[in-house]
Structure 1
């Protein structure tokens, strides 16, 4: 039985459970697996999840359907070195892109990009990882807005009483009713990247995300945290992607999250006040977790929002049982996954509110 036939049966099974019965989704899955060539069970799961799931809330339910269905199809659980027969059908229902029905090269490329976007970054080959990171170039981090505390003259419904009194004292009459408004400005965004050895598979991707975010304006600050705190804001804005990691002195070293967060609070409290703080770390802590708890509590009081991104949180079966995660969890506004490229785009949506 070919993989195409298996996926067709899987599509029918999903449709019976309320998933979209759109033939284009089946076409996307078949073309994506065809673009990958040699596959394994994890690839099948990633491709089909990308094709049929439109929200993160659907993942858990989809995983149940996937395991239940593909446990009856051993061909989908082939080991990595086994070639699985994948036939792109001559015509899928509702597909009339070409006379022969074969997917166009652009469609296959788009399908591969969708697959890479949903694949665990740590499992990507270097060439595929570069293609996946390239998608982050189009990411823009739109900061939430805040109103200035002081009013300024402008077009609004609030009467500018002082200006009206000045005009009355100067001319003896009020010829117009001046108004005032509180202007909105972007909230600062502070990104802290864990560059310890345990985060090595995600270093380049996180730096690419930080670079895309920093291009959005001067309100974005980027720091790295390993054994010490390093301000790399200027570096990620100006350096080429391949040279950004060279500016980090403690890259691939140990982890002292409590100490580095405390350094950030002590030295850059002005940047953090009212800001959105994003810490990207798996929570492995070599230092004292009490110091991490204290720093996280202080950061939550100082910042408008405190987001923690764990690159391993998106994996099936992950549990927040690492002591560093247990230490910070009561003090963060959200604990988000950073496992795939799609997770970083969802993070941008969360930041924008």
Structure 2
């Protein structure tokens, strides 16, 4: 087995130094940890003590974690930093995908790669060359590194991305577009290229010429642009996917010439939150930070039926006029009454021109609509598609442009 270089973590036993190094790792992993919190943590640990490891864990968590979505990153960084050698071995293998080994037995879970990157920053993880000899087992090489970086990111699950990979993915998402064709209105207007005859205007022109019709006045139907309405599930199982989709929607709402009249965005978990006004902010990081501050139920539970009822009651008439297209981003794992969910989904479908459901659970080939929430929602959507990576969002443009696109709905309906 290849010997890995040790991490540069202080071994002098000084409590304050170790907590300071741990705070630096948390800051590298993405947590907003300042010097004031480090001082508070040192004082809290000295006051409470750490005879039991769980007590030590929760004291530091109370000092360093201020947002629900940071709990997972804190937990993974804590395990790596405070001496779990086998866990560290798994994480080094997960960040070095050249050789099949430990990572085949335990794949990186959400936030583990970000925590490992923070602690392994600057540590050399390249595997040295191994001389071949007779009788030795040939090492199997994973060719994933031969792929272009963008191609690999297109197919990589949002939940398994590291900090650097997510930053690169966000840059790719800003370049995506979601064009829409205009809708034909029943209203008409005079135009030289029209293929319809405007009778009243033709008669008015004839009266000005003594009643003789010399030419017909052409007209055509007006064109109007629909609204795009996004309903994003921000519960614990959907948080990372919804962040990526909202980043994509920010790019769509600020793209000139995409055709959408307006892009409306709502988040839901245990309550419905309208974050549309934040999408108008040009700085995407500031926009999503403000949206996250407004939505108080990030990483919470899921009550899809209750939140859809709030949307249908309070917002449907305001944002659904003119043939709106609805993007429903959720895994469908609901705790509400399924009968109430069916009624709300039926009403949503009746008021929308098209309802497209993006479900990250479709990344699994063995996925089947067994959950009662999915069974209740699936019959009342027009298209059912995956939404777990960049490639799935790229395919969304084709789904919107094709009115008969149903995605995976027909196949899954057969399994119900």
Match of 1:69 in 2: none
Q: How far apart in 1 are the matches of 2:308 and 2:152?
A: 35
Please say if 1:293 is aligned against 2:342: yes
Counterpart mapping for 1:110-189 below 5 A: 111-154=148-191, 155-172=193-210, 173-189=212-228
TM-score if structure 2 supplies the norm length?
Answer: 0.58
Q: Larger C-alpha radius of gyration, 1 or 2? A: 2
In the alignment, is the contact (CA less than 8 A) between 1:40 and 1:78 conserved in 2?
no
Q: How far apart in 1 are the matches of 2:106 and 2:335?
A: 36
How far 1:151 sits from its partner (Å)? 1.5
How far 1:328 sits from its partner (Å)? 0.5
Q: How far apart in 2 are the matches of 1:78 and 1:141?
A: 39
How far 1:118 sits from its partner (Å)? 0.4
Match of 2:369 in 1: 320
Q: Which runs of 5+ in 1 are unaligned?
A: 1-35, 45-73, 87-107
Q: Residue 210 of structure 1: which of 238, 243, 249 is its match?
A: 249
Runs of 4+ in structure 1 deviating by more than 4 angstroms, as ranges, are: 74-86
Match of 2:64 in 1: none
TM-score if structure 1 supplies the norm length?
Answer: 0.68
Q: How far apart in 1 are the matches of 2:382 and 2:294?
A: 30
Q: How far apart in 2 are the matches of 1:161 and 1:225?
A: 51
Give CA deviations for 1:288-340 in whole Å, capped at 9, x if unaligned. Answer: 22221111111111211111111121223222222211110111111110111
CA RMSD of aligned residues (A): 2.9
The count of residues paired between Structure 1 and Structure 2 equals: 267
Please say if 1:233 is aligned against 2:270: no
Q: Residue 272 of structure 1: which of 313, 320, 323 is its match?
A: 320
Q: Which runs of 5+ in 2 are unaligned?
A: 1-93, 109-124, 130-144, 403-416
Q: 1:283 to 1:37 in 2, by over 3 A?
A: closer
Structure scoring higher RCO (CA < 8 A, sep ≥ 6) equals 1
How far 1:79 sits from its partner (Å)? 6.7
How far 1:40 sits from its partner (Å)? 7.1
Q: 1:298 to 1:80 in 2, by over 3 A?
A: closer
In the alignment, is the contact (CA less than 8 A) between 1:223 and 1:230 conserved in 2?
yes
Q: 1:309 to 1:162 in 2, by over 3 A?
A: same
In the alignment, is the contact (CA less than 8 A) between 2:356 and 2:385 conserved in 1?
yes
In the alignment, is the contact (CA less than 8 A) between 2:265 and 2:274 conserved in 1?
yes
Give CA deviations for 1:54-78 in whole Å, capped at 9, x if unaligned. Answer: xxxxxxxxxxxxxxxxxxxx99958
How far 1:242 sits from its partner (Å)? 2.8
Q: How far apart in 2 are the matches of 1:80 and 1:259?
A: 35
Q: 1:38 to 1:207 in 2, by over 3 A?
A: same
* Partner secondary structure for residue 186 of structure 2: coil
